[in-house]
Amino acid sequence: MAYVAVSGGKEAIEESIKLLDYYKSGSDKDIEIEAIENKLGLLVDRVMSEAGLYSRTYAALALKQCEGSIEEAVFLLRAYRSTLARNYYTDTVNTDDMRVLRRISAAFKDIIGGQILGATYDYTHRLINFTNGESAAELHLAMQKKLAGQEPAEIVSCPRVSTGLKKEGLIDSFPQNDLNPHDVTVNMLEFPADRSARLQTLARADTGFISGLAYSSLRGFGQVHPTVGELRSGYVELCVPYPLSEGESVYIGEIMITEVECFNTADDKDQLKLAVGYGAVFGRNETKAIAMAVVDRELDSGGPHPAQNEEFVLTHGDSLEMNGFISHLKLPHYVTFQSKLDSVRKTRRPADE
Amino acid sequence: MCLNETPVLSVRQLCLRYGDGCSECQTSLEKNRCTVCGTVWAANDISLDVYPGEVLGIVGESGSGKTTLMRSLYFDFIPSSGTAVLSDYKSGRVNIWEASAAEQRLIRNTIMGMVYQNPLLGLRMNYSSASNIAEKIIAAGSRNASQIDERARELLQAVEMPVSRMSEPPRNFSGGMQQRVQISKALANNPALLLLDEVTTGLDLSVQARVLDLIRKIKARYGISILLVSHDLAVIRMLADRTIVMLDGKIVESGLTDQILEDPQHAYTQQLVHSLI
Amino acid sequence: MNSNYNYAFLDEGSKREIRRSVLKAVAIPGYQVPFGSRELPIGRGWGTGGIQLTLSLIGPADTLKVIDQGSDESVNAVNIKKFVGLCTDVETTNDTRKATLIQTRHRIPEIPLRNGQILVLQVPIPEPLRIVEPCEEATKKMHAEKDYAPMWLQLYESLVKYKKVTIPTEYPCMVEGRYMMNPSPIPKFDNPKLHRAECLYLFGAGREKKIYAIPPHTEVVSLAFDDIPFERESFAGKKCRLCGSENTYLDEIFDPQTGERFFQCSDTSYCQEVRRHVSE
């Protein structure tokens, strides 16, 4: 009978929620929201990207509320976002104008605008630092001091690596498409999916799911072995159309994103061309951005493998949907199980009964 | 067979190409590929008739377009142009390639039966043999389980399959038995036309002989029209009343089977016939 | 009521959009209407389709009943009631007759519902054809062309293998002879209650983003071959140990101490009512 007891469900839930506090009571130290925002920045990035809501503070708040569970934090943000009316769509952002903090190309050594290694864990030795005891206050002060003496560099528009290849005709060029995107947060995703719907779905997808799919494609369940043509992360400015005068926009702030273009060879009648896969995510989640670009390309090419199947990829990677449906298995299924039992028993009775 | 009757099936000018084609295609073909634009003509201007009760054989090497023709007729492939009419479908007034998807499914399930070279294409390997046959009967509208059972049993007997194994899935069976299940499935709704695509290819010689014998019996018993594709002239000689010879997507010769075997006109046919002897 | 959120949580625009989908669903019985499913503070897969229907329809004059597995007190039912209560202050009840809006998971109440009542069913997988075809693009075409042969084949295959149709819950029905419909994971026992009912049935699938409906007096027929009648779960010779009912869906209960097996009504409020009646 356990927890669906004919009565008592209400009390059980209340007690269960109280008991959650037990797990937070093991230490008398607290974590400030500000600390989560600034010291667990990559975690915050991942939560924002999977939630599809850019708010560092709310992401930190959500993480604190649920003991750092990514799926719970994404859930909290999504549920909150759902209550907000969508008042404006921003103008299309041209990432050429990004305030770049990191920019690399695995395709060319020299690229217009140059490569900037920026901050990355890629070249660190993964050795646990057992002291890990740097003083937050000292670090903060030292960095402030260092920055105070520097002039902010002017932002120069920096064309993407693919732009040159497009001019050469090696990459297909497409006409500018300014149609409104198919917004999957207000419309059901239908198949075959619009590319905007695909990219939005991939950008919000669970990091682990997308990475696993991309990995499967690299290992042979797919045909992509891409070159990272360009990975750039930095800040982009967001503007919304000014309601009172047409053609003008108002700056509302900036967000940090990571953008990736992967190049693959592809058939072009009896010659070859380069095909691009595109990935863009909130924050500094580089693996997800690359994986997204790989999967985007796989979906373009199509084929028999999981990563090439649009419906398979786009319907199974949403954190909320997958975790919700898996966890619903914990709900009582007494009625349905009783029915299954009935079916099983009926097949086991002698036929003449 | 009677050539004065209305054909069961008439195909006119079937083309199926891979590529956009160009104005020079027909004069610049190397085998079936246009040297100018690279378009491949898998089927190139195929016209034929199948008359009631006859077996029309189609012979040719792989890549000649035989299977393209068959799979187009069964709606697996979509032709680039051409018409096909069936006397049993709207009295032959409607091109079956222009029928709706639902109508095409009805045609597949009631007017035609197909036996593929590869049983994986024709059978549901995880369903019982009875269900494989039932699929057709259900698609034709029957909703009476005991009648479906009865019919499945009858058909399996007709193809000399042990009825005791009808609840087993075809994946448990040998290649020859799988072809028998496919044939019984194809016959489920008494179709006017049976399409046989290299049905004995890949089987042991003794098994081949038994399957061919079965097809002969079925023809005699049901008086069904058969379109039979094979690369093997021996199979054609055994079963076909008339024969069409295909090469590089085109028909190069056609006539009574005996006539083609005894007095081949086209150089390719001559080569084929000589290699048989 | 928590005034940080709109009445019934969702913003008015979203609620209106959901109601529009409901109207379409009522107009085409059994057809799955796609809608822009909103995210809720309750997990996807935990009844969010049903809750969105409830939230978009509920008003101050309504009386709400929520059941899970037939029980008003089951954790999930309590949780949903608590959430709807938090953002509406609407009156809740366990009494099936008093409710204007009933949200349910896996059961239809034993008391026949009347005109004016709405039963909202939570649906995990709205597509009845999913068990024979995994791809949405394909199943959409199958519905459009009324190509339901693969489902009949599934039924036939289970007859061949087991001499019985073995689909337990989510037993497919034909609605008005046109659309095949998944009645949600209610037991077959409840399927006949859908046929020519007095009330409106609404089905909501939040994760799969579909809404469908059975308006009052609609013909709903459970799939069965002509010569093999549709069969419900059987509880022959068994009755509820609490109220003695012999015609209800029963839960099977083991007494871990004695190892004894009991049966009791899955619809708890019905069971209580019968007992009250007897004691009066």
Reference C51, options C156, C198, C203, C170; nearest CA is: C203
User: In 10 A of CB A308, how many CB atoms?
Assistant: 22
C121-135 pLDDT, tens digit per residue, is: 999 999 999 989 988
Q: Is residue B228 part of a domain?
A: yes
In tens digits, chain A (353 residues) has pLDDT values of: 333 444 567 788 888 889 999 998 888 999 999 999 999 999 999 999 999 999 999 999 999 999 999 999 999 999 998 888 878 889 999 999 999 999 999 988 888 888 899 999 988 888 888 777 678 888 899 999 988 888 888 888 888 889 888 888 888 888 888 788 899 988 899 899 999 999 999 999 999 999 999 999 988 888 767 889 999 999 999 999 998 888 899 999 999 999 999 998 887 766 778 889 999 999 999 999 999 999 999 999 898 999 999 999 999 999 999 999 999 998 888 888 888 888 888 888 765 44
Task: Pull the structure tokens for residue A30.
Answer: 């607290």
Nearest to C153 among B131, B146, B167 (CB): B131
Task: Please provide the DSSP assignment of chain B as one string.
Answer: --TTSPPSEEEEEEEEEES---TTGGGSEETTEETTT--EEEEEEEEEEE-TT-EEEEE--TTSSHHHHHHHHTTSS--SEEEEEETTSGGGTS-GGGS-HHHHHHIIIIIEEEE-SSHHHH--TTS-HHHHHHHHHHHTT---HHHHHHHHHHHHHHTT--GGGTTS-GGGS-HHHHHHHHHHHHTTT--SEEEEESTTTTS-HHHHHHHHHHHHHHHHHH--EEEEEES-HHHHHHH-SEEEEEETTEEEEEEEHHHHHHS--SHHHHHHHHHH-
Which pLDDT score is estimated for A177?
Answer: 83
In this prediction the ipTM stands at 0.88
User: Measured between CA atoms, how close is C214 to chain B, in angstroms?
Assistant: 25
pLDDT tens-digit profile of C158-194? 999 888 898 888 999 999 999 999 999 999 999 999 9
Whole-number pLDDT of residue B243: 96
The whole-angstrom separation of Cα C237 and Cα C247 is 10
Contacts of A186 in chain C (CB under 8 A): 36
- Nearest C-alpha in A relative to C70: A335
Give the domain CATH number at B96: 3.40.50.300
Spatial neighbors of C3 by CB under 8 A, at least 6 apart, are: none
Ranges of residues in chain B whose predicted pLDDT is under 70: 1-3, 276-277
Q: Look at residue A2 in the predicted model and tell me its pLDDT.
A: 38
Answer whether C45 sits within 8 Å of A328, measured CB to CB.
yes
Determine the structural domain holding residue B119 and report its residue range: 9-276
Average pLDDT, chain A: 89
Q: Is residue B2 in a domain?
A: no
Task: Establish if B153 touches chain C: CB-CB under 8 angstroms.
Answer: no
Closest-CA residue to B119 (of B129, B110, B130, B109): B129
**Residue C104: alpha-carbon gap to chain centroid:** 6
Amino acid at C226: D
Q: Is B221 on the interface with C (CB under 8 A)?
A: no
Contacting residues of C for B137, CB less than 8 Å apart: none
pLDDT of B157 reads 92
Q: C265 burial class (0-12, 13-18, 19+ CB within 10 angstroms)?
A: buried
Compare all CA atoms of chain B with the CA of C165 and give the residue at the minimum distance: B145
Residue pair B198/B192 in contact (Cβ under 8 Å)? The answer is: no
C267 CA: distance to closest CA in chain A (Å): 10
Q: Which residues of C touch B167 (CB under 8 A)?
A: 160-161
Which residues have CB under 8 Å from B259's CB, separation 6+?
none
From B240's Cα to the closest Cα of chain C, the distance in A is: 35
Q: Do C78 and A9 touch (CB under 8 A)?
A: yes
Tell me which of A66, A335, A348 to substitute to probe the interface with C (most C C-beta atoms closer than 10 Å).
A335
Residues of B in contact with C149 (CB under 8 A): 135, 138-139
Number of domains chain B contains: 1
Q: What is the 3-state secondary structure (H, E, C) of A106-126?
A: CCCCCCCCCCECCCCCCCCCC
Q: How far is the alpha carbon of C58 from chain B, nearest alpha carbon, in Å?
A: 42
Q: How far is C141 from chain A (nearest CA, A)?
A: 12
Q: What is the CA radius of gyration of chain C?
A: 19
- pLDDT category at C86 given cuts 50, 70, 90 is confident
Q: What is the DSSP letter of A308?
A: G
How distant is the Cα of B158 from the closest Cα of chain C, in angstroms? 20
- B169 part of a folded domain: yes
Option in C145, C160, C226 nearest B131 (CB): C160
Q: Do C153 and B144 touch (CB under 8 A)?
A: no
Pairwise CB contact (< 8 Å): C156 & B134: yes
Are the Cβ atoms of C152 and B131 closer than 8 angstroms? no
Residue A4 pLDDT? 43
Can you give the residue ranges of every domain in chain A? 2-81, 95-126+138-317
Chain C residues whose CB is inside 8 A of the A323 CB are 43-44
Chains that touch B (3 or more CB pairs under 8 A): C
What average pLDDT does the structure give for chain B?
92
Which residues of chain A have a CB within 8 Å of the CB of C233?
A: 338-339, 342
- Kindly report, residue by residue over A156-210, the tens digit of the pLDDT: 888 888 988 888 888 888 888 878 889 998 889 989 999 999 999 999 999 999 9
Chain C touched by B131 (CB under 8 Å): yes
- The helix/strand/coil state of B69 is helix
Report the Cα A107 to chain-centroid distance in Å.
24
Q: What is the pTM of this model?
A: 0.83
> Which amino acid, residue B107?
I
Looking at the complex, report in whole angstroms how far the Cα of residue C2 sits from the nearest Cα belonging to chain B: 53
Contact A113, A103 (CB under 8 A): yes
Residue of B105, B109, B127 to mutate when probing chain C, most C C-beta within 10 A: B127
pLDDT tens figures, B184-206: 999 999 999 999 999 888 888 88
Chain B: residue whose CA lies nearest to C227: B144
Contact pairs from chain B to chain C, CB under 8 Å: 49
Query: C102, C120 in Cβ contact below 8 A?
Result: yes
Q: What is the DSSP string of B123-176?
A: --TTS-HHHHHHHHHHHTT---HHHHHHHHHHHHHHTT--GGGTTS-GGGS-HH
Q: Where do the domains of chain C lie, and which CATH numbers do they carry? A: 12-222 (3.40.50.11310), 234-280 (no CATH)
> Which residue is listed with tokens 């001559």?
B270
**Min distance A346 CA to chain C CA atoms (Å):** 8
A281/A311 Cα distance (integer angstroms): 21
Quick one: DSSP state of residue A151? P
Helix axes A207-219, A286-301, angle to 10 degrees: 60
User: C: neighbours with 3+ CB pairs under 8 Å?
Assistant: A, B
Nearest CA in chain C to B128: C157
pLDDT for the residue C2: 67
Of B105, B128, B147, Cβ closest to residue C157: B128
Residue of A nearest to C35 (CA): A188
Tell me which chain C residues have a C-beta less than 8 angstroms from the C-beta of A347: 162-164, 166
Contacts of residue C222 in chain B, CB cutoff 8 Å?
none
Select from B148, B149, B166 the residue whose CB has the most chain C CBs within 10 Å, as the one to mutate to test that interface.
Answer: B148
Task: Answer whether A187 sits within 8 Å of C36, measured CB to CB.
Answer: yes
Contacts of B144 in chain C (CB under 8 A): 225-227
- Domain assignment present for residue B188? The answer is yes
Q: Across the interface, do B167 and C226 touch by the CB < 8 Å criterion?
A: no
* CB contacts, 8 Å: C228 with chain B: 145
Nearest by CB: C147 against B105, B144, B167: B105
In B, which residues are within 8 Å of C159 by CB distance? 145
Q: Please tell me which residue of chain C has the smallest CA distance to B146.
A: C227
Cα C214 to Cα C175: distance, rounded to the nearest angstrom: 8
Catalytic residue annotation of C: 30, 240, 243, 265, 271
Question: Cα–Cα distance between A78 and A324 in angstroms, integer?
Answer: 13
> Running DSSP on this structure, what letter comes out for residue A330?
G
Between C43 and A223, residue with greater pLDDT: C43
| Cβ–Cβ below 8 Å for C153 and B138 | yes
* Structural domain contains residue B1: no
Beta-carbon separation of A336 and C185 below 8 A: yes
Q: Answer whether B167 touches C (CB < 8 Å).
A: yes
The C-alpha atoms of residue C95 and residue C164 are separated, in whole angstroms, by: 37
Question: Mutate which of C133, C146, C153 to disrupt the B interface (most B C-beta within 10 Å)?
Answer: C153
- Closest chain A residue to C69 measured between Cα atoms? A335
CA distance C142 to chain B (A): 9
